[in-house]
């Protein structure tokens, strides 16, 4: 007997109301995707039931074959999509359909561009696929019962997309979910069985579950006909699959209408048997930098769906890869805990990673323009691999691209191989500088002596670069060396006469250096004469084993405490400002503070007391003006 509970009326969450308005009034392109979304949801529900039933057989109830049914009523202008999958409770209906208080909806709305065709393509990608029903329907009715629940625990949800929905408990004998769309007058073209069959063939032909429709023959309309091929694309031989079929399958699993940058289809036989079909998207997924992002690999065992978001099959730095892995030797009741420590999964993962990196290496060597497109989309995330994946560090290092002082723009197109080939014979290391922006890196005073000697320096401005250079200590037997840390060794580029002059200047300035160091006190670790400056009066460098200033600021911005490390200030003995200073200068303390603050500003740091800095500068300018007059 059905639960005696009145029909409840609720308002949609504000974001959902906005989304529904867009669906009904704006996104008119490619309306047929509504059927793809409903079939995809129904297939997922069946897969989840099959997985849950491995440990709780009673959930299968009548034991009917898992399938989907699509039917159309031309007279009533309705389309019905039914699955006999896991179903939903009342609470799940409210959570998943009534409110959907998740980031996906907000991100979808924020990502709309105003291009109706492009915006419609985002629907599935942002997890708001169910709402695509309102592209074609002015009323939608959903009835469902979760597997294992009593018949009186059925639920009916109804909405016309205007901002409200009703929900009530009903009697429902069958488990699973049935969705009925009442088509709008302008969209009655979809009340046609042939049209629906063509849409299923286009978007859902690969679904492994049978998708059935009533026979088109009026005399056989009670008979059901399977309208999808139902064969797993990845299980077929590569020679039998067209590029169009690969692209269509990719579009189905990724909701991306762009063709993939690369397709990798691999079958492994022997002690461990599995098939992988992996895609590298042309464009970065919208959630690439989401800390809670989903991974794109689905795990199957002998064509049976086991898990989506199988993060154990792909490292985090390759989280943009989409595809499936179908293993022959794993148990059907495999759990996420089992995957974590499974040697077979580890072997599949390692082999898949090597396949992807090999394809990227091929692109970099044979199709540099395509690789440049890839790097623009994924370069920052691929750099994470240098920190995470030591086994493949050499291959990943070959794939890195940077900006450098060799070029005139900020394009990241310099490989470490390119850099090493251009190194002068006397050069011992690979020089780099890190900063919070390309402009800050390229204008740093630390580069002055390198530009004077025509020595190339890599300009690193991505936050991840700070961790990259701590993990990649050398390349091709050349040590990576920061131009802003430690003492600078460019003796091989300096003749004996200049070395002698430099030593004499250091002796002459010893008293001034000592006095400035004393005046700056706790602000610095030490003060010394610089060998790296040619134009600027001063700069700050980190000691060889200390954190650089840029990394310290990154950690602070992340709310982490950085180990206390005082900088070393270097002064340029040839700069006019330094020349006019002596240990007895009556304004030496003010000049010392100003030089320190200017050096900090030049590397992108924020002053702790900006007002005091401005006051000192104003006082010194006023004094200079009075002396000049």
Instruction: Judge if 352 and 270 occupy the same domain.
Output: yes
- Please provide the size of the chain in residues: 629
pLDDT (0 to 100) of residue 127: 43
Instruction: Judge if 358 and 410 occupy the same domain.
Output: no
In a domain, 82, yes or no: yes
Q: Mean pLDDT of residues grouped by 10 in the chain (629 residues)?
A: 67 68 57 85 88 87 88 96 94 72 47 52 51 88 95 94 88 95 94 92 80 80 84 87 90 84 94 94 81 72 73 89 89 68 88 96 95 94 92 95 82 91 89 88 89 91 86 91 80 65 82 93 90 89 71 58 78 91 91 92 83 89 75
Last residue of a domain, one of 172, 194, 226: 226
CATH number for the domain that contains residue 489: 3.40.50.11260
Cα-Cα-Cα-Cα dihedral sign, residues 388, 390, 392, 394: positive
In a domain, 396, yes or no: no
Q: In what order do the strands lie in the sheet with 164-170?
A: 8-11, 164-170, 154-159, 137-145, 176-183, 78-83, 68-73, 211-214, 224-226
Instruction: Judge if 525 and 552 occupy the same domain.
Output: yes
pLDDT (0 to 100) of residue 334: 65
Q: What is the DSSP letter of 177?
A: E
> Number of structural domains, the chain?
3
For residues 511, 514, 516 and 522, what is the CA-based torsion angle, rounded to 10 degrees?
-170
- Nearest Cα neighbor of 238 from 276, 282, 292 is 276
Instruction: Judge if 422 and 564 occupy the same domain.
Output: yes
Alpha-helix runs per DSSP H in 435-561: 438-442, 448-452, 465-471, 496-508, 510-520, 549-557
Last residue of a domain, one of 316, 345, 367: 367
**CA 429 to each of CA 148, 180, 478, 611: distance values in angstroms, whole numbers, following the listed order:** 67, 68, 5, 41
In a domain, 372, yes or no: no
Instruction: Judge if 275 and 146 occupy the same domain.
Output: no
In a domain, 544, yes or no: yes
pLDDT (0 to 100) of residue 28: 46
d(CA 606, CA 461): 17
Instruction: Judge if 251 and 303 occupy the same domain.
Output: yes
Q: What angle do CA 314, 317, 323 make, to 5 degrees?
A: 40
48-52 long-range Cβ contacts below 8 angstroms, 24+ apart: 48/85, 48/86, 49/84, 49/85, 49/86, 49/87, 49/147, 49/175, 50/304, 50/305, 51/305, 51/306, 51/307, 52/86, 52/147
β-pair partners for 528: 570
For residues 295, 300, 301 and 307, what is the CA-based torsion angle, rounded to 10 degrees?
50
Instruction: Judge if 412 and 459 occupy the same domain.
Output: yes
CATH number for the domain that contains residue 106: 3.30.565.10
d(CA 274, CA 300): 10
Q: How many CB atoms lie within 10 A of CB 425?
A: 5
Last residue of a domain, one of 226, 258, 274: 226
Domain that holds residue 191: 8-226
Q: What does the DSSP assignment read for 191-252?
A: --HHHHHHHHHHHSTT-SS-EEEE-SSGGGTTSEEE-S----GGGS-GGG--HHHHHHHHHH
- Judge if pTM exceeds 0.85: no
Using DSSP's 3-state secondary structure scheme, residue 533 falls into coil
Instruction: Judge if 530 and 471 occupy the same domain.
Output: yes
In a domain, 3, yes or no: no
pLDDT (0 to 100) of residue 220: 66
CATH number for the domain that contains residue 324: 3.30.230.80
Q: What is the DSSP letter of 321?
A: -
pLDDT (0 to 100) of residue 342: 82
**Residue in this structure with the two tokens 């088109």, named with its chain if needed:** 216
Instruction: Judge if 221 and 279 occupy the same domain.
Output: no
Q: Are the CB atoms for 45 and 85 separated by under 8 Å?
A: yes
In a domain, 604, yes or no: yes
Q: What are phi and psi of 31, to 5 degrees?
A: -65, -25
Q: How many CB atoms lie within 10 A of CB 558?
A: 9
Instruction: Judge if 252 and 201 occupy the same domain.
Output: no
Q: Are the CB atoms for 41 and 129 separated by under 8 Å?
A: yes
In a domain, 376, yes or no: no
Instruction: Judge if 161 and 267 occupy the same domain.
Output: no
* CA-based end-to-end distance of the chain: 102
d(CA 355, CA 367): 17
In a domain, 453, yes or no: yes
Instruction: Judge if 253 and 217 occupy the same domain.
Output: no
């Amino acid at each position: 007997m059905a639960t005696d509970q009145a029909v409840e009326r609720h308002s949609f969450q504000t974001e959902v109301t906005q989304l529904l308005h867009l669906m009904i009034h704006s996104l008119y392109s490619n309306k047929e995707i509504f059927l793809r979304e409903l079939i995809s949801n129904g297939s997922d529900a069946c897969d989840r039931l099959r997985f849950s039933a491995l440990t709780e057989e009673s959930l299968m109830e009548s034991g009917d074959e898992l399938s989907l049914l699509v039917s159309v009523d031309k007279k009533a202008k309705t389309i019905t999509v039914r699955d006999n999958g896991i179903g939903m409770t009342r609470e799940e209906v409210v959570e998943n359909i009534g409110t959907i208080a998740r980031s996906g909806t907000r991100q979808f709305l924020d990502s709309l561009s105003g291009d109706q065709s492009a915006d419609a393509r985002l629907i599935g990608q942002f997890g708001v696929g169910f709402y695509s029903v309102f592209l074609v329907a002015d009323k939608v009715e959903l009835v469902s019962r979760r597997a294992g629940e009593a018949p009186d625990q059925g639920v009916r949800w109804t909405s016309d997309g205007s901002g409200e929905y009703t929900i009530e408990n009903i009697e429902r004998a069958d488990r699973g979910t049935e969705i009925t769309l009442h088509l709008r007058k302008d969209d009655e073209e979809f009340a046609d069985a042939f049209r629906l069959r063509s849409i299923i063939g286009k978007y859902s032909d690969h679904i492994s579950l049978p998708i059935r429709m009533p026979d088109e023959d009026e005399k056989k309309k009670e008979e059901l006909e399977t309208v999808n091929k139902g064969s797993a694309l990845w299980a077929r031989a590569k020679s039998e699959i067209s590029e169009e079929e690969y692209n269509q399958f990719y579009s189905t699993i990724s909701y991306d209408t762009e063709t993939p940058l690369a397709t990798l289809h691999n079958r492994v036989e022997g002690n461990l048997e599995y098939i992988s079909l992996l895609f590298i998207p042309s464009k970065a997924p919208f959630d690439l930098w989401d800390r809670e992002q989903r991974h794109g690999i689905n795990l199957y065992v002998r064509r049976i769906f086991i898990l989506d978001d199988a993060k154990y099959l792909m490292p985090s730095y390759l989280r943009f890869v989409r595809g499936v892995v179908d293993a022959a030797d794993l148990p059907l009741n495999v759990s996420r805990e089992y995957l974590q420590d499974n040697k077979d999964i580890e072997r599949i993962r390692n082999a898949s990673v090597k396949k992807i990196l090999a394809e990227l290496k091929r692109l970099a060597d044979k199709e540099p323009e395509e690789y440049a497109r890839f790097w623009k989309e994924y370069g920052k995330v691929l750099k994470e691999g240098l920190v995470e994946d030591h086994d493949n560090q050499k291959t990943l290092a070959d794939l890195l691209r940077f900006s450098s002082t060799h070029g005139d723009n900020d394009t990241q197109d310099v490989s470490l191989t390119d850099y090493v080939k251009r190194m002068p014979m006397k050069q011992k290391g690979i020089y780099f500088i890190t900063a919070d922006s390309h402009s800050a890196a390229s204008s740093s005073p630390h580069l002055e002596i390198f530009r004077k000697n025509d020595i190339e320096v890599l300009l690193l401005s991505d936050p991840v670069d700070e961790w990259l250079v701590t993990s990649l200590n050398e390349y091709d037997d050349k040590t990576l060396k920061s131009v802003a840390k430690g003492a600078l060794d460019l003796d091989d580029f300096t003749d004996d006469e200049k070395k002698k002059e430099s030593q004499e200047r250091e002796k002459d300035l010893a008293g001034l250096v000592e006095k400035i160091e004393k005046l700056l006190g706790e602000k610095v670790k030490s003060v010394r004469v610089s060998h790296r400056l040619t134009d600027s009066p001063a700069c700050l460098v980190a000691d060889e084993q200390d954190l650089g200033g840029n990394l310290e600021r990154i950690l602070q911005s992340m709310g982490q405490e950085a180990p206390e490390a005082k900088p070393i200030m270097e002064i340029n003995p040839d700069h006019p400002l330094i020349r006019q200073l002596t240990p007895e200068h009556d304004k030496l303390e003010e000049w010392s503070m100003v030089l320190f603050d200017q050096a900090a500003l030049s590397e992108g740091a924020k002053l702790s007391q900006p007002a005091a800095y401005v006051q000192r500068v104003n006082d010194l300018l006023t004094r200079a003006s009075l002396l000049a007059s």
